[in-house]
Amino acid sequence: MNASEAYWRELGLWPLWVERAAGEAAWPTPTPAPQPASGQLPPALLVPAQGSVPAGGSGSEGLGVPGAPSAAQVSRNPSVEGLTPWEEIQQQVRHCQRCALHHQRQQTVFGTGDAHPVWLFVGEGPGAEEDRQGLPFVGESGQLLDQMLRALGLNRSHQVYIANVVKCRPPHNRTPTHEECQQCLPYLAQQIRWLRPQIIVALGRVAAQALLASDQPLSQLRGQTYAFERIPVRVTWHPAYLLRNPADKAKAWEDLCQAQRLVKGLQATDETASHSDAALSPRIPRDGSADTATT
């Protein structure tokens, strides 16, 4: 055993997450979920909870989130007060007293990462270490999340933003209640509309149920593509769960690989559309007249 392996084993993060070559058997072999055609979203699994979010639907409308502005309201133009909408959201979260969680917090945990992400990872809420540092996923589960990102060729500062549904630490690291999630959802909705990621990955049951307005268990929500504000949403386990149940890491890795294939398919479609638009655009000669083809 080399020093690197010993280090990861000590953290409980061995074996390392490495994407398999094409055709290589999984460890263990997970049941593959149906894959959409490149660049296309399949109809979302219609969950029975009131306000379910179908693919292509409006997440905040389905969630019934009070106070969430429209996409037009959350623009990238500076506000009248001189703050950008993003800075205004941060200020609102910093001073939020919508629920009782604000009484015991050291500070709010807004999020961290690339301001123009491809990927948005959403957890349930901060723990003790996150409450101290003001950053999401900085404990042991954060180390596992970092390893998951590296396996995808990503990191926290490039193409990735990380946030939580709930911005304040619940006492004793308990699971956030439904009411607490509902109070914080307008902030998350505003973050999503500002960041405009290409994909959202819900980490764990709480995040998945909050984003999808569902009461279905995570095992039934996995393997499907949903949408929040027309942004694809995929569901997998929270890193803290994987630390307690390492046998499910292979299935979580398959979830991430499916999400990555979806992103690549969407990017390929966008690139093709961009090239097609460029080919159809008339060429403008130096004299300013349109250059039209003749047959």
Q: Is residue 11 part of a domain?
A: no
In this prediction, residues 33-48 reach a mean pLDDT of: 37
Residues shown for the chain: 295
DSSP 27-41: SS---PPPPPPTT-P
Q: Is residue 183 part of a domain?
A: yes
Q: Is residue 38 part of a domain?
A: no
Residue range of the domain that includes 216: 53-266
Residue 67's pLDDT is 52
pLDDT tens-digit map of 87-124: 999 999 999 999 999 999 999 999 999 999 999 999 99
pLDDT tens-digit map of 12-26: 545 555 444 444 433
- At residue 64, does pLDDT exceed 80? no
Q: Is residue 279 part of a domain?
A: no
Kind plus residue range of the DSSP H or E element containing 160: strand 160-164
Q: Is residue 3 part of a domain?
A: no
Sign, Cα dihedral of 219, 223, 224, 227: positive
Residue among 152, 114, 137, 112 at smallest CA distance from 252 = 152
Q: Is residue 126 part of a domain?
A: yes
- At residue 286, does pLDDT exceed 90? no
Q: Is residue 171 part of a domain?
A: yes
Pair 155, 149: CB distance under 8 Å: yes
Residue 54's pLDDT is 38
- The CATH number of the domain where 251 resides is what? 3.40.470.10
CA R_g for the chain: 21
Q: Is residue 295 part of a domain?
A: no
Q: How far apart are CA 247 and CA 135, in angstroms?
A: 28
* Between residues 146 and 295, the one the model is more confident about: 146
pLDDT tens-digit map of 191-216: 999 999 999 999 999 999 999 999 99
Q: What angle do CA 200, 236, 171 make, to 5 degrees?
A: 90
Q: Provide the number of structural domains found in the chain.
A: 1
Q: How far apart are CA 38 and CA 263, in angstroms?
A: 9
